[in-house]
Structure 1
Amino acid sequence: MKQAGHQSTVLNIDTRAPLSKEYIKISGAADLLKELIRHVFNDWFLHVHTNGHNRKSWLIALICGVAAQFGPGATLTLHSGVAPEYLRGGPEWRRTMVRLACVLYERIVCVNQEIAMALMSLGVPALQLEITPAYLAVKPSEASIPEDIESWMRLHSPVLSAALFFRPEYGFELLVRAVSILRRRYSGVGCLVMGDDENRAEAEAFIARQGVRNTMFLAGDVDHEVCLTLMSRCSVFVRPTFHDGDSISVREAMSLGIPVVASKVGTRPEGTLLFDAGDMDGLIAQIEKALV
């Protein structure tokens, strides 16, 4: 938005986020309320980007929606592939909270059709919904790569990359098992995993049990420009998720000209090499196809 000449500020509610000039770090509910009030009373339009698959997400959507009533308005974007299951299930109070939150927004952007259908099943008008990726094309980046990653990459070829959380729905264990098998055929293969360090200890223990400690590199949560540079340096980008909305990282990798192998869930752009979610053989076959 800034590149397009629009004034823009990000309120980052991730409590683990480091201090940065790129956003305002929110330290709690009171801090969020203070910043919302300050912005809406200065005529800021709100754009709330959230996963939509848990209570915290919808409480934030509700609070921001209420705050927006005192300003120019607001748009809500929902991006999680788990959101439809959450929206259709659970007690009535949950669905009521979702309906109340949605009423407060002029427009609700859903990254895929399934999320939109789940909202419509709750009575949200179709005219209020827009289905579009929450994504803008990226340009190649030449950011400086940390020395430990650079040294590791020089020792491996081909190198796969992935951006994920160490949670079951992201398919990390499936990826590790696939790499373990691929190593028998590609002795120098490596897999670089970028993303949040939550549950890192468990992830490292699983890697050790699979015997691929030196084959996998857990880079942690790297700067976005560094992430793009690393993607562009790798042979294949892998998205092994069991649920997905419309993965930004998949689209970024494709815009950089990197072959993408991804599970057949959510929305995938044309040209993605697809495999059925959880299908080990399918994942390996598509990675090998991408490496040809």
Structure 2
Amino acid sequence: MRVLLIGDYPPPHGGVAVHVQQLHQFLRGRGLEAKVLDIGKGGRPAPDVLPVQSLAGFGLRLAGFLSAGWTVHVHTSGNNPKSWLLAAAAGVPGPRSPRVITLHSGLLPGFLAGARSRRLLARAALSGYARVVAVSPAIKEALVDCGVAEEKILVLPAFCASQVKPGPVTAAVEQARARRKPLLVMAHHPSPVYGRMLMFRALRLIANERPDVGLAVFGPGTQAPEFIRDAREARVASLLEDLGELEHDEALGLMSRGDAFIRPTTHDGDSISVREALTLGVPCVASDVCARPEGTYLFRAGQAPELAQRVLQALVEGPAQVSSPDAGPVLLELYAALAASQPADERPMAATY
């Protein structure tokens, strides 16, 4: 059995990209021949990761894998037209190559609800897929409302617990750890969806109770004028530890050294970082904008005082004992079942990459 994953691949280390990377590592670890068509920004070279430089190049490479009978698994957000055009292009029905797609974004239900044409596009784009993986029940409900058969949809968090392995802790992290008690951790992105200003307001309240607190932020945009302006307006600039963009294993190393991980998002699918924190035994505080794993300290979205209260509670009570899911074995079983369902005369051919 040979599996082609299509999706973003780090860097940058977004949720979809990290899941594709971890699933790829899991499949290779199980001895499968697995490759990735990287449709993201094209990071540094990695074994069996093929960057896509153009639409024509994507089509040619995909055609080679399809003709050779590879099982194809697409990973995309589903919250914009480009995402659905990718799904449609990669899902063109063919007899030799089973197709699976995972839809990741918590913004998907709102996007599809915005126009009937979007729902029609989604239903048509998914018609060529044997199975559709939704990372949350809300995404499944939105797809069913579009007319996608319920029995075709599998709800499965985009998370591979077996691949959560913290890397070495950097000197900058150790210095932040020594300066701050407690040390909170948050993944940052310039998008307002990530709840930066809400976190800053809550941090100001937390500092009233815990004056030695610090917030370690990592990710893109921490040197942008808007970030600096918000930190000054909230009077938390002196409480921040700006660690910039980290490799994923470095981010896990930081998370493992923190006293709590915060996810103050306004929208979410199934956050990999929330599950990573819980898997690492770190208390996690997250907004209630979607279903969160058991053991998460929840606060009402947009409520800075409640966020601050829950952080203080998490610091006192500590992490919950949780059992983290692993999508790897489930997807491996799914791939095997789809491959076995192909007609016996559909034999794999050699692929040209």
Shared topology, TM-score over 0.5? yes
Paired position in structure 1 for 2:325: none
Following superposition, the deviation at residue 71 of structure 1 comes to: 4.2
Cα distance per residue 1:71-102 (max 9 Å; x no partner): 41211111111110111112x33222111111
Name 2:226's counterpart in structure 1: 202
Partner of 2:46: 21
Q: Is 2:169–2:250's contact at 8 Å kept on the other side of the alignment? A: yes
Q: CA deviation at 1:198?
A: 8.8
Deviation at 1:19, TM superposition (A): 1.4
Match of 1:168 in 2: 192
Task: List gaps (5 residues or longer) in structure 2.
Answer: 1-26, 317-353
Alignment of 1:24-103 (within 5 A): 24-66=50-92, 69=94, 71-90=96-115, 92-103=116-127
TM-score relative to the length of structure 1: 0.91
Report the count of equivalent residues: 289
Candidates 1, 23, 28, aligned match of 1:2 = 28
- What RMSD in Å do the two structures reach over aligned CA positions? 2.1
| Contact 2:221–2:227 (CA under 8 A) maintained in structure 1 | no
Alpha-carbon spacing, 1:231–1:120, altered in 2? closer, same or farther (3 Å): same
Query: Taking structure 2 as the reference length, what is the TM-score of the superposition?
Result: 0.76
Report Cα offsets for 1:232-270 as digits up to 9, x if no partner.
110001111111111111111101111111111212111
The answer on whether the counterparts of 1:160 and 1:191 sit within 8 Å (CA) in structure 2 is yes
Q: Tell me the distance in 2 between the aligned counterparts of 1:219 and 1:34.
A: 40
1:186 to 195, 202, 210: 210
**Alignment check: 8 A CA contact 1:141 1:226 kept:** no
CA displacement at 1:143 relative to structure 2: 1.8
Return the match for 2:154 from 124, 130, 133.
Answer: 130
| Gap runs ≥5 in structure 1 | none
Which portions of structure 1, spanning 4 or more consecutive aligned residues, are displaced by more than 4 angstroms?
Answer: none
Q: One-letter code of the match for 1:173?
A: M
Paired amino acid for 2:177: M
Measured in 2, the distance between the counterparts of 1:225 and 1:177 equals: 29
The 1:172/1:143 distance shift into structure 2, 3 A limit, reads: same
Which has the larger displacement, 258-267 or 198-207? 198-207
Distance across 2 between alignment mates of 1:162 and 1:96: 37
Quick one: higher RCO (CA 8 Å, sep 6+), 1 or 2? Answer: 2
Aligned to 1:272: 296
| Paired position in structure 2 for 1:211 | 235
- Which of 305, 310, 313 is the matching residue for 1:281? 305
Give the whole-Å Cα distance in 2 for the aligned partners of 1:231 and 1:279.
24
**Shift of residue 199, structure 1, vs aligned partner:** 8.7
Residue 274 of structure 1: SS of its match in structure 2?
Answer: strand
In structure 1, C-alpha distance between the alignment counterparts of 2:74 and 2:240, rounded to whole Å: 35
Whole-angstrom CA distance in 2 between matches of 1:154 and 1:39: 51
Q: Could you tell me how far 1:208 is from its partner in structure 2?
A: 2.9
User: Does the 8 Å CA contact 1:231/1:237 hold for their aligned counterparts?
Assistant: yes
Please state how far the C-alpha of 1:138 moved relative to its aligned partner.
4.1
Contact 2:28 2:34 in 1 (8 A): yes
